[in-house]
Structure 1
């Protein structure tokens, strides 16, 4: 079953069980997917849906930080719930040692030796790890390896 079909089925199940919080989050995700399809006049597959989910996760995490600073625990809980729902649609995350080995392989493949090579390394790594690792953490690891 494709990711799009899974999301659709989960929406139907949330409607049947009258889980309004879950239904709201799934509808937000479906709206973002539909918006991308309409804007670009294409049918999205799993590989193009994952970046949409990643973007939504980043937005929610930024909101959580802002709400914590504003001491709005009610909104923090709502955003954390949405993060947990969205993470359920992401592929399994790779562990740190696997991520580091991919980075090492790419650095050797590209022949990177300094921070000037950050762009090409990051592009190749993003290609291989899209949706499987937190790209902000990956960027920090690459910077540390290229700086030394």
Structure 2
């Protein structure tokens, strides 16, 4: 399981005294634990659920780095980017632009969408195929682009 891999990598990072990796993996495991205990009853997360948590945490790091850059806090932005890189090692390989374009094009053909008004239909087909391999904003931008051009 992915959660077990995170734990063993944390132990390895602690032995290597890699402070950034230790802090990042502890944060990730805390986020996973919080997700497991949210709601009425404790439940173990599947690997897909853990990937979802890691994807959200990665996105937070990216957004924080951008905010710190905008505020002129380069050292904090670098820390956020370093944490994002550690988390990215656990995520599936991101889709290339060509792969995303092909998936969206196939979804448009499948749904018969002809304009921006059918964007929701296309997104419902594309999103499960994309999963955590592309940011939702990137997917919606590509869907809009292709629907506006057709």
TM range (shorter): over 0.9
**Regions of 4+ moved over 4 Å:** none
Segments of 5+ residues of structure 2 without an aligned counterpart are none
Q: CA deviation at 1:123?
A: 2.1
- Equivalent position of 1:115 in the other structure: 116
Correspondence 1:105 to 2:106: yes
* Separation in structure 2 between the aligned mates of residue 91 and residue 20 of structure 1, nearest angstrom: 24
* Separation in structure 1 between the aligned mates of residue 123 and residue 136 of structure 2, nearest angstrom: 9
Q: CA deviation at 1:16?
A: 1.3
TM-score normalised to structure 2 length: 0.92
1:124-139 correspondence to structure 2 within 5 Å: 124-139=125-140
- Equivalent position of 2:63 in the other structure: 62
What does the per-residue CA deviation read over 1:86-108, in whole Å, with 9 as the maximum and x for residues that have no partner?
A: 11110011221111111111111
Task: Give secondary structure in 2 for the equivalent of 1:42.
Answer: coil
Segments of 5+ residues of structure 1 without an aligned counterpart are none
What does the per-residue CA deviation read over 1:66-102, in whole Å, with 9 as the maximum and x for residues that have no partner?
A: 1111111110111010010011110011221111111
* Separation in structure 1 between the aligned mates of residue 80 and residue 20 of structure 2, nearest angstrom: 11
Q: CA deviation at 1:61?
A: 1.3
Q: CA deviation at 1:51?
A: 1.6
TM-score normalised to structure 1 length: 0.93
Give the RMSD, CA atoms, in angstroms: 1.2
Q: CA deviation at 1:134?
A: 2.6
1:1-148 correspondence to structure 2 within 5 Å: 2-40=1-39, 41-148=42-149
Q: CA deviation at 1:33?
A: 0.5
